[in-house]
Structure 1
Amino acid sequence: MLLACFLLLLAKNARGQFQFEIPAEMLQGMMGGGMMGGGGRKGAEWPKTENSEISAEFEWLVNTEWEGKTSKYLLLRDGFVESPLKECEPEGHCLWAANNGRVLINTPKLKVVKFTIEGLEQVDRKKLDNKEESELQKVSLVMEKPSKSTGKKGKLDFKRVAMADEQESMISADLYKILDVAEDAEQSAIKSKYRRLSVQYHPDKGGDPKVFNDIREAYEVLDDPEKRRQYNLGGMQLVKNVEIAWKEVEGQKAQLDAQLNQVPKNHPQYQMFKQQIEQQKRQFDKANVESKIQQKLQSEELEVLVPISASELYNGVEKKIFVFQRSMICRGCKEDPTRPECQDCGRCPPEKVQVPKYGMTPFGRQVVGMREKEQESRERCHEVGVEVAVRVAKGAKQGSSLKVLPNMGHQTPGKFPGKVNFKVQRGSKEDSYRIAESDLHTVLHISLEQAIFGFSISWRHLGQETVSITRERLERPDEVLRLKGKGLVQSGSKRGDLYVRLAVDLPSVPKGQKDLSLSAAKAQSQAEAKLEMEEEIQIEEGTAWRDWKERSLATTYKGSKEKTEL
């Protein structure tokens, strides 16, 4: 029996760390469906007449709890509600939404209850978006319809913000300020400063024990290069998370040793079991474990679109500087957010924590799984512009990668920042050209006189060349000219085309004036090019398509090959 159990344990650990979880649905079937708390009840569903969206303007409601005389609702992300009401106990049975100036709470029994938001006119919107409790307390959710029993409108008042658990043992002050050293201080300077401060504040010499302990803890982190790196990237919470992860690893190694100890040393197969255990323990070598911990505690890769102008796509850029607005932890501001240096710091992105799921099993109420729950962070963050140099190839495609930087993502308490993949966003607001694959589209505005008497207009194109258009008169309104090879690089040295739509601007006639004089001389004097980005170009099956027929009827225009001196 002992041998069979031991072989089973070895088989389990041969696949690495494994937690055996019985799905709640399976347990419900084992117990006849009557012991899981859900009882087969059906959750709330949104009727087709209601909008189930949570609009961006109501993001401040996420992770806030609201309480009435007989009810309490915690509004979670993705439209779920957590509530002590029995009908809401099975996860996902109660829902909420917020749009069109209203908040909707949907439960299986009450169905959709609609609330208006009162008090918004007296709040500081920036503080409300930061979920500051002083502002949330000014707001109430009031039912649109009065209760049938009392005739009064029910009201929900703000109760709390669902915050990440606070660890009393975790220091919240800025470790660098505790030791009075700069963030880029050398390790030797940190050690020297610690020695002086530890002597100065030692309890045996009348120092404050708390101050002394803070100094010692700050030194323990900053004196270790790896812990210091963790602190710089994810705060004290990340240092603690890594410590916990290592303790889990030590616990797994101890379990393997305990399994081997269950086998008598004089057993004929003891040496074989020992070798198997030693082989399993090899997975816990330092480099392998550090890599796995990094992956487990790392934020997801972030994609950032970098606007690339038509000119930059036309010519290519060896070094373009892009300023990435990165979220950074305001160290020490959790301890005292009122400090002057913390005034520009808002709440950090929400933290995700592991929460056990319970269910009734043949052995009583036990954990049957884990779920991830979002909670608001207690840390404070602010945005810092980080300059990133990228190289832009001629004709770079939409979404193509410019550069990937590790550990450059937004800082989140308790996590390593993820990679950032900087990608091409073709076009900028300042462009005069609309980009459609390798073609460029622009609108050249001309006067009514130029349309009638003809014109000659030149302008500096995106490269070194000058584009000149000369017309004796306009054949039809919104005529489109196609200039071959004036677009972006398509493949090799081949370029797309430039499409120029000639838009006639009607003259303004003073009120009461019935006559309008037009002159050919005036038309010739209007030589300045007035370019405007073309309207949106729709791409279908790899080619440009527009509602206006002029593109397909575009006249191929052979302009001057004149070059512009730089």
Structure 2
Amino acid sequence: MFGGIPFEHFAHGGGGGGSFGGGRGGSAEPPDTTKLYETLELEKDATAKDIKKAYFRLSKVHHPDKGGDAHKFKEISAAYEILSDPEKRKQYDEYGLEGVDDEGGAQQRGEDLFSMFFGGGRGNGRARGPRKGPSVNHPIKVSLEDLYNGKTVKLAVNRKVIIGDAKECEKCNGRGAIMEVRQIGPGMITQMQRTCPSCQGQGNTAKTKSERQVLEVHIEKGMKHEQKITFRGMADETPGMETGDVNFIIQEKEHELFKRKGADLLVTKDISLNQALTGFTWKIKHLDGRQVVIKTRPGQIIECETTDAESGRTLPYITMVKDEGMPSLGNPFVKGNLYIAFHVKFPQKLEPDVIKQLRMILPDADIEEEYDPEQVEEHFMDVADLRHFGKGGAVSQQSEYDSDDEDRQGGVQCQQS
């Protein structure tokens, strides 16, 4: 009537004369439904957008072509393949890897999912070890100065620790789930599996207490936004499971002067036309407290803008000070570069005597055209907005006239005698 062996998801080798041995996986342990999320460093309630962002971020770090670990990259790709598919994710959340490990999936990729994530297949007789409990993520706001110089901060975390020994849950007999039978109509029943409310799906119960622990979080020079600092086994203790980790996620604060990308820094500078042509000196306070003076070379001209050779786009004029960027993570003696983007401010008006001097000093002065004011039209320019280009003239009125003409033509009929 039900199209399968009753209680098959609770199948185990002992008891019952083996009548439930055909179940999914044949194990008394509840399925692991967290490993793929841990691989992508996500919580189980992650959105599809979170999954995609995590995959692209981690695949860049662990790609073999960029010096990453090939097996780790394969795990990340497999986890993304499953969790990015709504149907596969649903199967995984309910049955674990066995719910998605079919012949058309991982087997064709040449590696069993269980071997990939747990270091051994289902049929090799080796125990996979206890599952890992959930990890806890704590954001930590860090200034750009601290990421430049490095810093150690002490942070307190509260965690649950187990008192005494864990016991098998009596309600679900250690399976982590219970089966409910419900009547859906006359002579018709259905059975549903749900998480055991007593042990919250863990299969074990234990008394716990709250413990406060102070952790020293070391922020290394050159660390980046969203980078993770991990304390292994410092999350809440869970009966029958390996303790999860506490992760501090760096949140880089915005800086009033510097913008950062990788190991490079960018600052913007407004200068006058005079400074752009004759040179300037600019003193700034760097992230380590040094007073740094930036200046033009003799005769160096700062242009108003430049054109990108590849895209043809107009960009701000950029200069660079070598080795004055951020220290590199793991090798702080190698630094990025400091880039400067310029905005040249032109004067709004010049006096006649100044104009005369500039004509004499600057190259390529205007050669005035010879003309008779009585024979030509003279026009002076006003400041304009390019967004208004194409909107001049009596466009709306002309459209109305055209419409009237069409109506008149459509209403004329030839009179025949």
> TM-score per shorter chain, which class?
0.3 to 0.5
TM-score relative to the length of structure 2: 0.36
TM-score relative to the length of structure 1: 0.27
- Rg (Cα) greater in structure: 2
